Amino acid sequence: MHHDVNKLGQPIGFPMNNWQAPPWPPRAPLVGRFCRVEPLEPERHAAELYDACAEDVAGGMWTYLASGPFASLADFRAWMDATCRGADPMFFAVIDSVTGQAIGATSYLRIQPAQGSIEVGHIIYAPRLQRTAAATEAMVLMMRQAFALGYRRYEWKCNALNAKSRAAAQRLGLSFEGVFRQAAVVKGRNRDTAWYAVVDRDWPALDAAFTRWLDPNNFDEHGWQRRRLSELTAPLLVARG
């Protein structure tokens, strides 16, 4: 990447003279073909989401998350009341377009309009949402809104041992940026954190890949994809890891 040089001959970042800080993301629904991503309301979504997550009997979906598993709906609701009502993180429920039921949750967090940076995280996908077109579309809706608002950096961070999350980030076109060693203590254990991101100059090509993948013609009569998203996004990655 080319860098400007100051009068001392030192490389410096490119100018941002006309850039303006984006607004805070709105608490408003994002509507797709397979799902709707709407502001999470514990009163409305807790019971459905708890029941959907309970289908993971072994509880493996919670291993790398800071929260869960939850022994009861009351515990889950208490966590939601304490964690999911604020502006940062800003939580959303993922609603299945066919059943109208909450089958997942996600959030924007570390929202920094002054820097143009925003993160997606706290991704809770019940078994029936995992590995579906709705699961991908929910992430696309979140990303599209962030860049439409004017954010210039979209981040994904996860436990460095979480191979599925790392693969998901790269499938969605987020490039690997490194591992922060001993970044946190979660559930009484060390966590190294892997960083991934998309920046605004990557976005037009990535958005086109999402549009191509989500096109109805990319799915057969049984709903199976004809072309994998990873085939479209892999050439766009700046780095893998």
- Per-residue confidence (pLDDT) for residue 223, from 0 to 100: 86
- Check the CA dihedral 82-86-88-91 and report its sign: positive
Residue 222 has pLDDT above 90, yes or no: no
Parallel, antiparallel or unpaired: strands 117-125 and 153-159:
parallel
What is d(CA 6, CA 160) in angstroms, rounded to the nearest whole number? 38
7 Cβ contact partners less than 8 Å away, ≥ 6 residues apart: none
The residue extents of the domains of the chain are 20-236
Mean pLDDT of all residues belonging to the chain = 97
Residue 3 has pLDDT above 90, yes or no: no
Share of the chain above pLDDT 90, in %: 96
Share of the chain above pLDDT 70, in %: 100
Q: What is the pLDDT of residues 61-75, one digit of tens each?
A: 999 999 999 999 999
Q: Which residues pair with 108 in a beta bridge?
A: 90, 120
How many residues can be counted in the chain? 241
Give mean pLDDT, residues 100-112: 98
- Per-residue confidence (pLDDT) for residue 32, from 0 to 100: 97
Task: Say how many CA atoms lie within 13 Å of 32 toward its Cβ.
Answer: 26
Specify the CATH number of the domain 20-236: 3.40.630.30
Four-CA torsion 189, 195, 196, 197, nearest 10 degrees: 130
The angle, 0 to 180 degrees and rounded to 10, between the axes of the packed helices 133-149 and 203-214 is 150
Residue 116 has pLDDT above 90, yes or no: yes
Neighbouring C-beta atoms of residue 159, cutoff 10 Å: 21
Residue 1 has pLDDT above 70, yes or no: no
Per-residue tokens: 222? 């049984």
Q: What is the pLDDT of residues 146-201, one digit of tens each?
A: 999 999 999 999 999 999 999 999 999 999 999 999 999 999 999 999 999 999 99
Per-residue tokens: 156? 């994904």
What is d(CA 46, CA 40) in angstroms, rounded to the nearest whole number? 9
Per-residue tokens: 199? 């920046």
Residue 2 has pLDDT above 90, yes or no: no
